[in-house]
Structure 1
Amino acid sequence: MFIKKIGIDLGTNNVLVYVPKKGIVINEPSVVAISKNDGKILAVGLEAKDMLGRTPDTISAEHPLKEGVIANYKTTEAMLRYFINKALGGVHLFRPEVMVAVPAGITSIERRAVIDATIAAGARAAYIIKAPIVAAIGADIPIGAASGHMVINIGGGTAEIAVISLGGIVAWGSVRIGGNKFDQAITEFVRHKYNLSVGVHTAEEIKKSVGTAMFMSKPLSVDIKGQDMASGLPHIVSVTSDDVAEALQHDLDLLIKAIGDVLHDTPPELSADIMDKGIILTGGSAQLRNLNELVAQATGVPTYVAEEPMFCAVKGTGIALENIDSYKRSILATR
């Protein structure tokens, strides 16, 4: 099968690649391992992530994207080339059309960098589309309708809040919270409360095992291993869901404020639509337990988590690519 179109969700933590009629073919960490001696790229994706925190002094494992935008052009291009080639598989006769999801607040310079990197990585044509738009498409929201829909797309580096109507964004806000900030907050909380030093991977496991946005009537708990900060010896403690709710409170307060600001900026007619239809949560971090309940409680608007929230944006790129004429108004830039 000749692959002519590819959709990419270029995230701070993960790169997802969608091929029409095949679905999601790649879901790997957006990490690149580089030799410090000669700048050679040694590994990309899962293989590179396994090196994080374990690399010798001669190797650095880096995230080429920070908060959804390119922080290192060279490594982003190399990462895109790797994933495009992997999606195409083996020998390929055609350079594909590629659609990339980017943050809604991206600047024209950042947008140009994504287009240039995508073309340099082997694309015949590159399309740039805002992540909240494709997340809404992937969540089966009819974005072309004349009614308002609110989508909150929460990834690894940022949370974007968007009110969408007639294929465009009417009101928008973003806040620099997401999976990474949640992991950092858990790491710091465990250090202060339990005098235990844990790595980012352990914090992520705590979040997945017992993470919650609200205190629970029946708290969950998980035993974790770390280094006792007094003795330096390995130690095990039990961390609860209440610990995580407390650790994340500051970041979640920022998210709630940002949502309130966007609702305040929304035209009254569209506000009525949102109250009627509810708020949709997308992105990997939307999977945090009880986050929809917290948002609903704080805003008074029914809030739902989209089906497979982590995959909404990349699925949306695929749908938009297959129906490019229908979504022309939503495309930011092309080359």
Structure 2
Amino acid sequence: MNNWIPYELHTHTNHSDGKHTFYELALSAKKIGLGGFAMTDHNTISTFKYINDVSNSLDISIVRGLEWTTFWGHILLVGIKEYVEWTDITLENFNKKLLDARGKSELLGVAHPFRLGGAIATGCYCEYEIDDWDIIDYIEVWSGMLPSEKYMNKRAFALWTDLLNKGHRISAVSGRDWHKSTEYDKYIAATYLNIDGYNTPDNAIKAIKAGEIVVGFGYVIFAKLNYEDKEYNIGSIISKSNEISAEIKLNINKSGIKDVGKINRENLIIKIYSNLGELISYKTNKDLCSIIIEDIRDITWVRSELYEVSEVERLISFTNPIYFN
């Protein structure tokens, strides 16, 4: 049985530059409604010795990870079993080091690629030229709280879309880059993973690898696609036949993450995007709806997006793609 479970994929403790202890981070994650998180301190795995005990005591899934924090960019290594060296990475040898890490980490993700770097935050901006995007599992297209409002995240989202249009099947996630918690935290996005079976780190990694991912805050949009009398999940790859139309079935749910942000349900608009651009814009007050795509012949990928429209139009949730061959 599959369940969509909210995860946070970018966290820090006082073992690097975070304010939480490891237990405080896990407890905060549990309190706000997360089902799991990736432990990704900067260049250290010193929390790993506590993971089993804390995970069992709080009944929360904790994935072992590390944020390679270099002078020219940050890379998330998720699903590692041991420390992966970073001190000898340079602009010149980065792609070789990335290939080496591929053999030691289940997942590779590019963290906040367009965050300000330089004297403000050395290394946060990704200066690396990635030779082969197909070895990257995901891009952190949303970073921080109220993520879709940030210019750096709009650039990251556009990069992801461009890579999809070039034929790369790469996923997008949210990463809060969580260093501390306050009672005023709001518009906390989560990365929802379609967990098959028990909520374990291995099954979370499996969902990310499969692209079975939805991102959102406030309200979250989920989708399935019907084609040729078969139903496909997010992340699926569909072989086209003579049938040229497809049906997308959508489900809008209130986010289970507890924060003080407010989203008006009456102001939500669904948009369907593909490699051809915006296909459909649709306002509905229903939680369940279906939309017909009349002609899929030139479509290579499709995703669903959810917007709140008031004084401005704000993206609050999106699915990862369903692909067509």
Structure with a larger share of its residues in strand: 2
Q: TM-score, normalised by structure 1?
A: 0.26
Q: Which has the larger radius of gyration?
A: 1
